Structure 1
Amino acid sequence: LVRDLAAQLGDQPDAALAALNRQPHLCTRRRAGRPLPRGRSLLREDGEWQWWSDPHEVLSGPVADGLCAVQDRTQGHPVEIARPRPLELVLDLCAAPGGKALALADVGCRVIAADLMASRLATMRAQLPGRLVANDGRTPALAEGAFDLVLVDAPCSNTGVLARRPEARWRYDDQHLASLADLQRELLASAARLVAHDGRMVYATCSVSPRENQAIAHSLPGWRLLGERSTWPDEWQAGGYAALLVRA
């Protein structure tokens, strides 16, 4: 893991590695059209985003009241880079737990949220009723060329969220990454068939490994990169990657 990340560690490698183990402050996204959430533990605000020191206060208050949704700031990047427009038909192919699908719905998109496990979709039912599909993203039973935007938040090594998934570091090896890369390429190729001719696709992970990010997004035949965003974890956000792709 350290070997693969060495090129990204900069001139302060100890601090960069320590950041991988740091749990960011709880972050929320204000729901569209709702008042700005307020509370004693509010640490910081940036547009529609808020950070909190007391999870209990925000979960039992503004989140329970529907003013905001829990979402890491980095997990907002895939939606932002896509620039979704109201009434667009959007597929979130690996949707659970649903933060990005909800953000797309808040913009006014017509969202279909799909995931392999129906049990994972169950937690999203209250927010996105009637828009959930239990589906294997590698062989989706969905109309080809139907979607203005397809989002693929692919399974990955979780190296950008090691503070929340500490066990992921022990799974990180060449064999595991090769298996993940095969799955990521399958999902991206499958998603590409579902995108309308003039549509676009977003590929995202919660990894900081170029082997799962740039190496996958930059190599899809027939598609070109319009933009990408890589994030290293710190006290305000987890690590991750998002890339916007269109047909070449």
Structure 2
Amino acid sequence: IKRSSEKKKRISEAQRKTKMKEFVDSHIMNLMETQEAWMEKVLKTIEHKEQEMMIREEEWRKREAARLDEEYRFWASERAWVEARDTALMETLQEFTKKELKLLIPKELMARKIQHNKNKEDDETEIPNNNTNQSNGWPEPEISSLIQLRSSMEPRFQENGYSEEGLWEEIAAKMACLGYDWSAVKCKDIWDNIGIYYNKTLMECNKKENSRNSYYFQLLDSCHGPGHC
């Protein structure tokens, strides 16, 4: 009886261990399945978020590209408009300058210039220039244009509402339209030298009467009125 009782006890202990093992194994399996399901869910969530982010980035790139394209077209249109405006202004200025010069150059001055080209003397045609070493003076067409442009704007130089620097810039622009690349500073310097020459000739005209035959003197005299000699 005692042996039978011990045998039953051993069997019961083995069954208990077996059931315990099965219970633990079952819980471990459930835990592993739960973890796998959770990991799968996490991975799917991450993948979904990444896809959403990629979609948003793609949409942002498209919007940015469209914005840049629209901005490029806008500035291209603005640039074309500015270029067209500047071209129209230059054409208008050139036409205005040509008409203005035609009115400023009377026929008698042109006749004097032709006569002067035939009979000019070197000592009477040179214009002093403090800023250069040229011994032959400046070309007559350029000097003539400068004298007539400056003389035509004399009333504006006398008024207080105009900037002298701005007026010389305007003269330089008109000279450029005629094909003469003179800056505003150069125009003013040459004009000052012409004034010195003119005043000096007026002072010496009693000593040298034929000095008033100089073409530049005649041109200045016609612009300023009769001489004072």
What TM-score, normalized to structure 2? 0.23
Larger RCO, structure (CA 8 Å, separation 6 or more): 1
Q: Which has the higher strand share?
A: 1
What TM-score, normalized to structure 1? 0.22
Higher alpha-carbon Rg: 2
